[in-house]
Each structure stands twice: as C-alpha cells, then as structure tokens.
Amino acid sequence: MSIHPLAAVSPYALVGNNVRIGPFSVVEPGVVIGEGCSLASRVTVRSGTTLGRGNQVFEGTVLGGLPQHLHMPDTPGRLVIGDGNVIRENVTVHRAMEADKSTQIGNFCLMMVGAHVAHDCAVGDNVILTNNSLLGGHVSVADRAYISGGAAVHQFCRIGRLAMVGGLARVTRDVPPFVTLDGGTAMVVGLNRIGLRRAGFTVDQMQQLKGAYRVIYRSGLPWDEMLATLERDFTAGPAAEFAPFFVSGHDRGFVQERRTPPGATVRLVREEGDEPVSVPEVEKKAG
C-alpha cells in the first residue's frame, strides 16, 4: 500500500492491498477500496462508495457525490463500482437517492474526461463513456454500449447492449440494442456493425439482426404485430433480445429511424381550407 503523506484517508475506510493514493486525494469514512486500485492526485471518494479491484482513477475525479436533486436525501444510497475500470480526469459519479439502493458501474468500463453518471444509474460491463458524456438519473446502459462525446441521456432512458450513441446526441427515448444513433439527429441510422464485428458476432448473427431490424423499422407493422413477429421469428441468438427490451420498456418509447420507410408520403396543406395532398417521398427529398 502506498498513501502519499498529503492524502487524507479516513481510518474508518477499508483499503485493500497494493492500493496507491496520490497527493491531495480524500477518502472519506465508510469507503471500501479494493486490492490494486490506483487513485491519482486530487481524487475524492465520498462515504458510501465501494470500489472493486484494479480500478484506475485519475486526477480531479469525484466518486460518490451526493445526488443533484432539489430534495436532497438525508440518508442517500451507495455507489458500487466493479473491477478493472479506468476512470479518467474530472469524472463525477453520484450515489443513489435512497438508502437501500445504489448507483452501479460494472467491470472494465472506460469513462473518459468529464463524463458524468447521475444518481441511480446502472452501467454494465465494458461500457465506454467518452469525453463530457452525461447520464441523467436512473439511466441504464447495457454491456459494451458506447456513448460518444458530449451526448446527453435523459433520465430513466435505457441504452441497449452494444448500442452506439453518436456525439452530441440528445437521447430522450430508449435506444434498442445493437443499433447506431446519429449524433446530429439523435435517430437510428442502422446497426452498430463495427461494434458487432469487434464483439465477434458471426455472419449468421449479423444477418439475423438485420432481419429483426427490418421488422422493427422497415415493416410498417403496428406495435402489437411487430412484437408478435419478433417473438415468433427470432427466438434464439442476439436478435431474441429485441422483444424483451421493448416489452420491458416504459412510456418514453424508443428511438425511431432517421430514414423514412419506402413509399411513405408527406401530407401538405397549400392554402387554408384546401384538402391535403400527398407528395411522394422522392419529391420531398428533391424539394
């Protein structure tokens, strides 16, 4: 164990073997720091925080801060961080609102400079939060999702497994697994092909996901029929994750596709009182 003489570590904190704590860092009472963790200078770990093994925490980070809420709880919950995470400079992660709940960060995540995770979030394993990305309260991010720089996720939204959110996106609805969200429009623009390949998905699995994607975004089926088709035709493999994701959702809905389905028309009113006319999609694009 190596604790710099200018660090302030409470005698009521539990610090594991081979932990390094740099100058001007503060570790409050009730904190648990697992074996092999490294805290650089000016790191603050607040009461109610537990770190697993082998986490690297860089300068200026604050872990376990109180929830940002108008009604500050008297007894907030905890922050639980897994193993092997890299938490870069000036990251902030807040504790849960209620005493019996926790904000959770999984294993082997990378949280880049200035990322923020609000109270009661649940972040899975191998998630990447890039610079200045923001998660509102009660957001859940599934394994291997990628949140690009400056993206902001509204409270209570869900980000599915291996989804990719583009830079500066404003996410106000659930993002299904395996898709890519365009940063400019914050709408779905296809599958996360690069992420899927890196994750080792086979050609057959990719084809299966394409088929399910067409059912969701291209078939034009009503909601109930779309769910029934997914549950009937995609019972195994990664595409089987779509139906449970939608069924377990809430009233926020899910992000729609940027591309308008083929054959769609636009309804226009030329003059007040005139009947609306249909304009083919190709004309709309040309105009």
pLDDT above 80 for 280 = no
Percent of the chain exceeding pLDDT 70 equals 90
Tell me which of 54, 77, 124, 137 is the catalytic residue: 137
* Residues 175 and 190 sit within 8 Å (Cβ to Cβ): no
Supply angle C-alpha 21, 143, 240, rounded to 5. 170
Nearest to 157 by CA among 240, 245, 65, 90: 245
Tell me which of 119, 138, 143, 149 is the catalytic residue: 119
The number of domains in the chain is 1
**Residue/partner pairs of 36-44 with CB below 8 Å, 24 or more apart:** 41/4
Do the domain assignments include residue 115?
A: yes
Residue with tokens 């860089």: 58
User: Bigger pLDDT: 81 or 261?
Assistant: 81
Tell me which of 48, 120, 124, 149 is the catalytic residue: 120
User: Could you tell me the sign of the dihedral formed by the alpha carbons of 71, 72, 77, 80, in that order?
Assistant: positive
Residue 137 annotated to the active site: yes
Do the domain assignments include residue 70?
A: yes
Residue 119 annotated to the active site: yes
pLDDT above 90 for 267 = no
At residue 260 the predicted structure's pLDDT band, cuts being 50, 70 and 90, is low
Cα–Cα distance between 252 and 26 in angstroms, integer?
39
Do the domain assignments include residue 68?
A: yes
Structural domain including 19 reads 2-141
R_g (Cα) of the chain, nearest Å? 23
Nearest to 99 by CA among 30, 26, 15, 28: 30
Do the domain assignments include residue 78?
A: yes
Supply angle C-alpha 41, 42, 48, rounded to 5. 115
Cα–Cα distance between 236 and 213 in angstroms, integer?
15
CATH of the domain at 10: 2.160.10.10
Do the domain assignments include residue 242?
A: no
Do the domain assignments include residue 120?
A: yes
At residue 270 the predicted structure's pLDDT band, cuts being 50, 70 and 90, is very low
Do the domain assignments include residue 129?
A: yes
Cα–Cα distance between 63 and 271 in angstroms, integer?
59
pLDDT above 60 for 268 = no
Q: Mind spelling out the 3-state secondary structure of 96-149? A: CCCCCCEEEECCCCEECCCCEECCCCEECCCCEECCCCEECCCCEECCCCEECC
In the predicted model, what is the mean pLDDT of residues 102-118?
98
pLDDT above 60 for 185 = yes
pLDDT above 70 for 272 = no
Do the domain assignments include residue 66?
A: yes
pLDDT above 80 for 265 = no
